[in-house]
Amino acid sequence: MIRQQLKDILQKLFPEEKIVIDYVPKEKPGDYSTNIAFRIAAQKKMPPYETAQEIASRIHDPMIKSISVHKPAFINFTISNSYMLEKVFSEPEEIDIGKGQKIMIEFVSANPTGPINIASARAAAVGDSLARLLKRTGYNVVSEYYVNDGGRQSTLLAQSVRQRIRELNGKTAEIPEGGYHGDYIIELAKEVKEKGIEDIKKIKKYAIDYFIEEHKRILQAFGVEFNNWIRESSIYEKGYVDDVLNLLQEKNLTYVKDGAVWIKTTKFGDNEDRVIITSDNRHTYLLPDIAYHLDKMKRQHDRLINIWGPDHQAQIKSLQCGITAIGYPRDTLEILIVQQVHLQEAGKLIKMSKRAGVIKTLKELLKHVPKDVVRFFLLMRSNSQPLDFDLDLALEQSDENPVFYVQYAHARIKSIIKKAQEQGIEYGGSFAKNLIKETEEIILVKAILKFPEVIEDAARNFEPYMLTYYLIELARIFHSFYQRLRVINEDKELTHARLALINKTAETIKSGLGILGISCPEKM
């Protein structure tokens, strides 16, 4: 990466300093810039501009065509075209920021009590892309889905199903307080009734298995597959819940109050202590959750990432304090909050509520909108940003839809290459790189070279949307190039060079879309 190379050069001059390399704003001379002169000038109480000039005069490298100093004290680097061309046509470089670290990313983990909703779909898109992104940047990635099959929710589910069976038998259904009302429960009840299952425990097991299978199927259709599906019950079976409890007691980190057992999370920075065993002797979610993370850590992961919805925000601290309490470093676990999704149709918001039974599920959405479009749309915002999913725009198969815009650029390139081949134009192998010198060509070259840098930024920030934005930009640059310059032209050598350039563009788009989990058709 050019950015990294510049960084290294400056780092040698200023070993103590943190080097920052920025892109130069449009219309400004140069490609990259650094603010190092500001810092040095401030430290040595020297005039900034002169300091910048002095520093600039000390930098020499073959890849740098020229260095200029601007206004307060920016140092701008212009990279030589020949260097960029050499670079852009060489093998794509490996990016290794993970250094083989084993990282687990847990996401979706929707309760097996109903279909996957659109909020979870966003988590699925983000988590899956993040997994691909981290793999690409040198991490050893494991993806995991945690199935909450313990707890009270699953009992309520079983009871709700049983009531629906009563209803099917001509009696009135009395859905329990906090139970599940959705129509999907009726479908499930029909199945359970047909199988003649009556025992409540068996209904529960059947219902949970039913939803797990359902989730697996629908996520697969969405292009998301997990390495592991871990059930809460398996954590109990391994005895980890008891282990955690014992460990906490040994460390004197629990106490009894009002008949309940509390964990002293305040010792680790929580706002208040938390209950882990209720006065009627049930575990709260926190205890098995800590145990589950103990399990994750026992499996030798260097880092853990969880992707949660905003409604779980309050639990972050408790869980982090909890795993600190059992002796793991605090920064082992990072929890990313992915904000909610609002479904929009004809400018109107559609409210989602599981309880009321009017859910917009991923399954329903995929019936109307292609997988690629759904994924792309869900990856267009930073995690912390709430997202409006515009159904009308998503259904639009034309100019407004950014997915097609990007895919179209790729298809267009493939079409040109095909055309060239039909005309018997050979390309591949060596060619005169220096024929590429038009403004639009160079802009395209720079955009392609930026790709690994974007990958790095996206991976470091855990933000796949950065890549989404980049791909739109790259497509735009290509379309613009296409409009101005002909790839297939009278000049055989130039045609050869341009074919190689657009082919590189297509490879980059394909690679980027691949990380987003979006297909990249050759024709559309």
Q: Which of 10, 40, 48, 98 binds RNA (CB under 7 A)?
A: 48
Q: Which segment (29-37, 118-126, 202-210, 430-438) binds RNA by CB under 7 A?
A: 29-37
Q: Which of 151, 176, 370, 514 binds RNA (CB under 7 A)?
A: 151
Q: Which of 16, 91, 177, 258 binds RNA (CB under 7 A)?
A: 258
Concatenating the DSSP letter of every residue in 349-364 gives EE--BTTTTB--BHHH
Contacts of 355 (CB under 8 A, 6+ apart): 180, 181
Q: Which of 173, 455, 487, 497 binds RNA (CB under 7 A)?
A: 487
- Tokens for 519, please give them: 């297909």
CA-based diameter of the chain, in Å?
89
Q: Which segment (13-21, 80-88, 93-101, 161-169) binds RNA by CB under 7 A?
A: 13-21
Task: State which residue, 85 or 416, has the beta carbon closest to RNA.
Answer: 416
d(CA 104, CA 134): 10
Taking CB under 7 A as the criterion, which residues in 372-401 touch RNA? 380-382, 384-388, 397-400
Q: Which of 43, 228, 266, 278 binds RNA (CB under 7 A)?
A: 278
Is residue 404 within 8 A of residue 377, CB to CB? The reply is no
d(CA 83, CA 1): 12
d(CA 295, CA 315): 19
Task: State which residue, 197 or 373, has the beta carbon closest to RNA.
Answer: 373
Taking CB under 7 A as the criterion, which residues in 412-451 touch RNA? 412, 414-416, 419
Task: State which residue, 433 or 498, has the beta carbon closest to RNA.
Answer: 498
Q: Which segment (52-60, 94-102, 129-137, 469-477) binds RNA by CB under 7 A?
A: 469-477
Regarding 486 and contact with RNA (CB under 7 A), the answer is yes
Regarding 46 and contact with RNA (CB under 7 A), the answer is no
Minimum distance of RNA from residue 101's CB (angstroms): 20
Taking CB under 7 A as the criterion, which residues in 279-308 touch RNA? 279-280, 282-286
Concatenating the DSSP letter of every residue in 310-369 gives GGGTTHHHHHHHHHHHTT--GGGEEEEEPPPEEEEETTEEE--BTTTTB--BHHHHHHHS
Q: Which segment (49-57, 123-131, 214-222, 335-343) binds RNA by CB under 7 A?
A: 335-343
Q: Which segment (127-135, 320-328, 430-438, 481-489) binds RNA by CB under 7 A?
A: 481-489
Task: State which residue, 168 or 393, has the beta carbon closest to RNA.
Answer: 393
Q: Which of 25, 62, 196, 424 binds RNA (CB under 7 A)?
A: 25
Regarding 350 and contact with RNA (CB under 7 A), the answer is no
**Could you tell me which of 34, 41, 43 has the C-alpha nearest to residue 4?**
34
d(CA 112, CA 120): 12
Is residue 324 within 8 A of residue 330, CB to CB? The reply is yes
Minimum distance of RNA from residue 259's CB (angstroms): 5
Minimum distance of RNA from residue 161's CB (angstroms): 17
Lookup result for tokens 């050759």: 522
Determine the 3-state secondary structure of 103 from DSSP.
Answer: strand
Minimum distance of RNA from residue 321's CB (angstroms): 13
d(CA 127, CA 288): 23
Minimum distance of RNA from residue 380's CB (angstroms): 7
- Tokens for 150, please give them: 């313990």
Torsion region of 176: left, alpha or beta (phi above 0 gives left; psi -120 to 50 gives alpha): beta
Minimum distance of RNA from residue 408's CB (angstroms): 3
d(CA 171, CA 429): 77
> Of all residues in the chain, what percent are helix, strand and coil, respectively (each to 5)?
50, 15, 35
Please, is 280 exposed, middle or buried when counting C-beta atoms within 10 Å of its C-beta (0-12, 13-18, 19+)? exposed
d(CA 188, CA 327): 43
Q: Which segment (34-42, 130-138, 235-243, 364-372) binds RNA by CB under 7 A?
A: 34-42
Q: Which of 225, 311, 392, 493 binds RNA (CB under 7 A)?
A: 311
d(CA 316, CA 334): 9
Q: How many residues bind RNA (CB under 7 A)?
A: 95
Task: State which residue, 168 or 335, has the beta carbon closest to RNA.
Answer: 335
* Single-letter amino acid code for the residue at 87: K
Task: State which residue, 70 or 166, has the beta carbon closest to RNA.
Answer: 70
The mark string for 490-519 relative to RNA (x by CB under 7 A, - otherwise) is ------------------------------
Regarding 364 and contact with RNA (CB under 7 A), the answer is no
Regarding 310 and contact with RNA (CB under 7 A), the answer is yes
Q: Which of 15, 26, 194, 430 binds RNA (CB under 7 A)?
A: 26
**Could you tell me which of 18, 106, 96 has the C-alpha nearest to residue 332?**
106
Regarding 340 and contact with RNA (CB under 7 A), the answer is yes
Determine the 3-state secondary structure of 260 from DSSP.
Answer: strand
d(CA 342, CA 327): 40
Q: Which of 62, 430, 483, 490 binds RNA (CB under 7 A)?
A: 483
Minimum distance of RNA from residue 424's CB (angstroms): 14
Is residue 284 within 8 A of residue 274, CB to CB? The reply is yes
Taking CB under 7 A as the criterion, which residues in 106-135 touch RNA? 111
Regarding 39 and contact with RNA (CB under 7 A), the answer is yes
